[in-house]
Amino acid sequence: MEKQKTKQRVINFKYPLEVYVFWIISFVTGFELVGGVLVLFLREWGGLSQLQTQTLQSWFMFMIFLMEIPTGLIGDIKGRKFSVVCSYIFLIIGPVIYGLFPNFKLFLLSEAIFAIGAAFSSGAMEALMYDTVKEKGLLDEYNKINTVNRSVQSIGRLIAAPLGGLAVALLPVNIIFQLWAVNSVICLIILLIFIKEPEVISRRELVPDYKEVFKKSLATLRDNKKLQKLVAYMISVSVGGYFVLWLYQTLMLEAGVPDTQYGFYRILFMVGQMLIGFVLSDLLEKHKHRRLILIICGLLFGLVYILAGWISEIWTIVVFIVIGGYGKEHRGVFSKYLNAYIESDERSTTLSFISMFKRIILAVLNPFVGWAADRSLSLTLVAIGIFIIISSFVLMPNEIANPDS
């Protein structure tokens, strides 16, 4: 009898099956072999210049912006699960076409397919999980469930990063890229079998009302000078973090780093991102001089850009990658301080506007940075570093709000 009770406790999971299914999907999504060799794929196999590489990213952002409303309308009518299923179908097609043969026009087509897939899943996957958790009566546990969901995706990336680098020695890089489609096939099958469409009264939140977002958010930003400065600083840091991701592999190409080691450098980037997030969050919580801490962080971030541009050595690339994690992790660190400046009933629209505005800036900057990097990668890195340093002093508000006050 006692053995039977023990056995029941062992197989008695804390959450319903659907929660674990979402975690598995998140892990598989993060398990992307191509992440560590993406620039290698585009530059070496694809034969692209940095200008063409960054132009593809601008095209991708533009297509997401263009497709978000129509895909949102489809999801609004058919449901969140339908929207996510459509997303996976496009994310299966995209990598297969991308890896057929090196051609810039083919790459543009593939990026457009990727963008449609991304637009279909924009907000829909998170909403699907939220409504499923709500239906199961676990809304109080949602934050914990969502935290685990993000964590397992990061674990998937960490495991896949070195494997992607090692796979280059065994497979052509375009085949590795095409294998990315397998992730979406697995996720699609799991989703279709185990997750049902939640019953919700309204799905209007899937459709962004850009006019309303623009009006409300512009009014909020116009009336709050401190928020203006903090948002401007956040965007400048975000721009720096974005270009770390696209330029560090180009630095490795120029330094002659073996292809098989690319994945390990990606691990450094992700570990640096997580460590900076933990340490900086702790510092900002415990100390009153938040403005000074953030200025120092911006100064260090800008200096590693200048260092990487000035001295082309492996150790400077490592420092650039690790400290560069600040630019990618800033949103999580800044989130509560940013929210402290925004009224609760305007928070969603204002944050959406900030994200939209950041994408527009990146879409505009991408070709210019690519063009500059083709002419002198060193000078481009130095210029971005100087921009970040100046932004840290000029754009930082005189004080950072205490969200707990």
Instruction: Encode pLDDT of 144-169 as tens digits.
Output: 898 899 889 989 999 999 999 889 98
Mean pLDDT over residues 240-255, rounded? 91
Mean pLDDT over residues 102-121, rounded? 95
How far lies 74's CA from each of 60, 116, 202, in Å?
20, 12, 14
DSSP-based three-state secondary structure for 310: helix
pLDDT score recorded for residue 214: 65
Q: Is 336 exposed, middle or buried (0-12, 13-18, 19+ CB in 10 A)?
A: middle
Contacts of 374 (CB under 8 A, 6+ apart): 49, 50, 51
pLDDT score recorded for residue 211: 63
pLDDT, tens only, 27-74: 999 999 998 888 889 999 999 999 999 999 999 999 988 887 788 778
Ordered DSSP codes for 360-387? HHHHHHHHHHHHHHHH-HHHHHHHHHHH
pLDDT score recorded for residue 72: 74
pLDDT score recorded for residue 192: 97
pLDDT score recorded for residue 271: 85
pLDDT, tens only, 183-234: 999 999 999 999 998 875 444 444 455 566 567 667 777 777 878 888 888 8
pLDDT score recorded for residue 232: 85
The percent of residues above 70 in pLDDT, for the chain, comes to: 86
Classify each residue of 224-244 as buried b or exposed e, where b means 16 or more C-beta atoms within 10 Å of its C-beta.
Answer: beebbbbbbbbbbbbbbbbbb
Mean pLDDT over residues 114-136, rounded? 88
pLDDT, tens only, 315-346: 999 999 988 878 776 666 666 667 677 766 56
pLDDT score recorded for residue 9: 44
pLDDT score recorded for residue 344: 61
* CATH fold for domain 16-208: Growth Hormone; Chain: A; (1.20.1250)
Instruction: Name the average pLDDT for the chain.
Output: 85
pLDDT score recorded for residue 10: 44
In this prediction the pTM is 0.84
pLDDT score recorded for residue 347: 65
pLDDT at 370 over 80: yes
Residue of 85, 75, 36 lying closest to 185 (CA atoms): 85
pLDDT, tens only, 293-304: 888 888 999 999
Mean pLDDT over residues 5-33, rounded? 81
- Domain 211-405: CATH superfamily is MFS general substrate transporter like domains (1.20.1250.20)
Contacts of 169 (CB under 8 A, 6+ apart): 259, 260
pLDDT score recorded for residue 396: 75
pLDDT score recorded for residue 212: 63
Confidence grade of residue 8 (pLDDT, cut at 50, 70, 90): very low
Every domain of the chain and the residues it spans: 16-208, 211-405
| Whole-angstrom distance, CA of residue 143 vs CA of residue 120 | 23
Give the Cβ contact number of residue 89 at 10 Å: 17
Sign of CA dihedral 371, 372, 377, 380: negative
Q: Do domains 16-208 and 211-405 have the same CATH topology?
A: yes
Mean pLDDT over residues 168-175, rounded? 93
pLDDT score recorded for residue 402: 56
Confidence grade of residue 277 (pLDDT, cut at 50, 70, 90): confident
| Whole-angstrom distance, CA of residue 316 vs CA of residue 318 | 5
pLDDT at 393 over 90: no
| Whole-angstrom distance, CA of residue 294 vs CA of residue 49 | 35
pLDDT score recorded for residue 293: 85
